């Protein structure tokens, strides 16, 4: 394996080197970097042109300029990276660190959400092949996949940004909209749950009633401007997570796994009370990350100790339960500071920029501000990627489900849950893993348009500025991040092939 990884890294370096030469050549010949000065009426125009020519090395051949850039980047091997200067004299390294942090924060979140939602939708549509749900979801997926990014971004800014900001100032209950939402939720849930006519009607009516009563109750409690949760809600969320994770992963009849998840819920409630004061008074990103690591380790320990003969399933179910409870606890602290955030920023959903200038306040207020900045571009990138993941998951699941070993698994008397999750889904993950590798790097490149529409100061803005100014240094910095991401993610995909399917050898 080590020899294979080293060979892949070596060949990848050659690919990156060849691509960097081609890109550098194309950028330096894409326009005139002195055009703005040539059109200037300044009396010292010739002096400015001479200074920029010398500064950017425009009097040298392109390969000489490329060699200077390459030697600076090669210094990263010894810890002395030099990405050069942009046309304005700013260090590219400083610009790159800020832009990469901004874009990766957006792309990683969108990728994770797209994988979770897309795979879930793909599995459900594969199970319900040629049903009404399958046809509706297929139509919506192709619709999302074909949406022009800039047009979808404008719609999101209008309806989820501007109009929501107008509404949140004085929330009013719109019974027409709530009834339509309840009917759509009922139709969707009965299609997912399936069953005979009686079960579908019951699911539809129950869902409509829950949405209508829940919606009215949220308005009565002024939830939209002053949301609250509390320990009872936390316990209910934990119990729902425990039962759901156990049902999906091992089945409710597996008492060992159910016991492990319920113990995880009990530990989560204790952690809720133990960390409440700390997370409210002196929170920090490092503290939250540390508590998250402890939560994961405790869940693994509980699963190993109480899992019995189903240790792996107990660990997985306990992890899912612990992560859901952890997110729920963080969400409660975020909700507690939502009124303070509205006072600091009456129009909370941002449509421009990756951060509110001069925003000050408590940690959770700043956390909400960054989340509001992420919301719209993340939704856009997720919608586009969900289409790819769901279609590949569906086709892969359908192909695997026709194999002989799936029929054998059913003939042995295994439950449909075991057949789908342990046999069909795991074997269908190999092509999906390939898509994940390409999609992550593709999202970084595709974020160029998204960042332009939302005014996001990230890698896309760095690339566009460099290209518009015919300045190769910012463009090459963008290439380094996206190219390296593509290489590493494909290497990870190759390694995961052997993990997912022991028959694969390198």
The 10s digit of each residue's pLDDT in 212-226 is: 999 999 888 889 999
**What average pLDDT does range 178-205 have in this prediction?**
87
**Do 25 and 144 lie in a common domain?**
yes
Is pLDDT larger for residue 7 or for residue 167?
167
Q: What is the CATH number of the domain that holds 488?
A: 1.10.3720.10
The pLDDT of residue 502? 67
Does residue 171 form part of some domain? no
**Do 73 and 122 lie in a common domain?**
no
504 — pLDDT class (breaks 50, 70, 90): low
Q: Evaluate whether 462 touches 102 at the Cβ level (below 8 Å).
A: no
Does residue 454 form part of some domain? yes
The pLDDT of residue 269? 94
Backbone phi and psi for residue 285, each to the nearest 5 degrees, phi listed first: -65, -40
* pTM value > 0.85: no
The pLDDT of residue 505? 61
The pLDDT of residue 480? 87
Does residue 57 form part of some domain? yes
The pLDDT of residue 433? 79
Domain of 12 in residue numbering reads as: 1-29+102-162+374-506
**What average pLDDT does range 387-412 have in this prediction?**
87
pLDDT over threshold 80, residue 33: yes
The pLDDT of residue 445? 66
**Do 435 and 481 lie in a common domain?**
yes
pLDDT over threshold 90, residue 440: no
Question: Angle, nearest 10°, between helix axes 132-146 and 92-127?
Answer: 160
**What average pLDDT does range 107-132 have in this prediction?**
86
In terms of DSSP H, where are the helices of 40-91? Answer: 45-56, 62-74
Does residue 453 form part of some domain? yes
- Percent of the chain topping pLDDT 70: 98
**Do 46 and 136 lie in a common domain?**
no
Other beta carbons within 10 angstroms of residue 90's beta carbon come to 12
**Do 21 and 69 lie in a common domain?**
no
Rounded CA-CA distance 80/178 in Å is: 59
The pLDDT of residue 333? 92
**Do 37 and 19 lie in a common domain?**
no
**What average pLDDT does range 60-67 have in this prediction?**
90
**Do 409 and 494 lie in a common domain?**
yes
Nearest Cα neighbor of 142 from 384, 312, 418, 346 is 384
- Percent of the chain topping pLDDT 90: 24
The pLDDT of residue 323? 93
| Per-residue pLDDT reduced to its tens digit, 344-355 | 888 898 888 777
**What average pLDDT does range 236-259 have in this prediction?**
91
Domains of the chain: total: 2
Does residue 461 form part of some domain? yes
Is pLDDT larger for residue 17 or for residue 498?
17
pLDDT over threshold 70, residue 506: no
Nearest Cα neighbor of 144 from 123, 121, 165, 163 is 121
Other beta carbons within 10 angstroms of residue 39's beta carbon come to 8
Query: 315: which 2 tokens?
Result: 């660990």
**Do 455 and 444 lie in a common domain?**
yes
Distance of CA 12 to CAs 98, 186, 417, 435, 447, Å? 26, 50, 40, 19, 24
Chain-centroid distance, C-alpha 312: 26
Does residue 207 form part of some domain? no
The DSSP code sequence of 439-494 is HHHHHHHHHHHHHHHHT--SHHHHHHHHHHTT-HHHHHHHHHHHHHHHHHHHHHHH
Does residue 500 form part of some domain? yes
Query: 456: which 2 tokens?
Result: 């996001």
**Do 464 and 428 lie in a common domain?**
yes
Does residue 68 form part of some domain? yes
């Amino acid at each position: 394996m080590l020899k294979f990884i080293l060979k892949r890294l070596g060949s990848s370096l050659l690919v990156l080197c060849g691509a960097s030469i081609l890109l550098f050549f194309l950028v330096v010949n894409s326009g005139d970097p002195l055009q703005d000065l040539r059109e200037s009426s300044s009396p010292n125009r010739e002096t400015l042109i001479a200074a920029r020519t010398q500064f950017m090395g425009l009097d040298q051949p392109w390969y000489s300029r490329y060699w200077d850039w390459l030697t600076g980047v090669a210094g990263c091997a010894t810890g002395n990276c030099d990405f050069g200067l942009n046309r304005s004299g700013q260090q590219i390294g400083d610009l790159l660190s800020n832009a990469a942090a901004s874009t990766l924060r957006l792309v990683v979140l969108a990728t994770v959400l797209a994988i979770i939602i897309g795979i879930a939708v793909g599995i459900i549509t594969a199970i319900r092949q040629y049903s009404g749900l399958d046809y509706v979801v297929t139509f919506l997926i192709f619709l999302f996949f074909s949406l022009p990014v800039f047009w979808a971004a404008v719609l999101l800014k209008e309806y989820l940004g501007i109009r929501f900001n107008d509404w949140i100032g004085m929330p009013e209950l719109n019974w027409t909209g709530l009834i339509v939402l309840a009917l759509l939720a009922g139709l969707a849930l009965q299609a997912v749950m399936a069953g005979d006519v009686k079960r579908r009607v019951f699911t539809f009516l129950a869902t409509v009633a829950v949405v209508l009563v829940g919606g009215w109750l949220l308005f009565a409690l002024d939830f939209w401007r002053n949301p609250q949760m509390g320990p009872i809600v936390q316990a209910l969320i934990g119990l729902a997570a425990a039962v759901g994770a156990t049902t999906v992963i091992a089945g409710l009849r597996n008492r060992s796994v159910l016991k492990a998840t319920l113990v995880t819920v009990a530990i989560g409630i204790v952690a809720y009370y133990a960390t409440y004061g700390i997370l409210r008074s002196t929170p920090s990103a490092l503290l939250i990350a540390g508590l998250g690591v402890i939560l994961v380790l405790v869940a693994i320990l509980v699963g190993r100790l109480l899992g019995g003969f189903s240790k792996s399933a107990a660990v997985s179910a306990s992890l899912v339960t612990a992560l859901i409870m952890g997110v729920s606890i963080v969400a409660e602290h975020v909700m507690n500071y939502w009124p303070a955030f509205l006072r600091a920023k009456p129009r909370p959903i941002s449509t421009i920029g990756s951060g509110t200038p001069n925003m000050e306040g408590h940690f959770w207020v700043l956390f909400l501000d960054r989340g509001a900045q992420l919301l719209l571009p993340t939704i856009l990138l997720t919608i586009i990627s969900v289409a790819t993941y769901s279609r590949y998951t569906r086709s892969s699941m359908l192909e695997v489900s026709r194999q002989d070993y799936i029929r054998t698994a059913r003939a042995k008397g295994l439950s449909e849950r075991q057949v789908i999750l342990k046999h069909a889904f795991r074997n269908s993950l190999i092509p999906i893993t390939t898509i994940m590798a390409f999609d992550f790097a593709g999202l970084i490149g595709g974020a160029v348009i998204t960042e332009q529409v939302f005014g996001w100061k990230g890698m896309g803005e760095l690339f566009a500025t460099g290209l518009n100014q015919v300045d190769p240094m910012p463009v090459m910095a963008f290439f380094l991040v996206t190219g390296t991401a593509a290489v590493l993610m494909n290497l990870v995909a190759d390694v995961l092939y052997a993990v997912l399917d022991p028959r694969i050898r390198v």
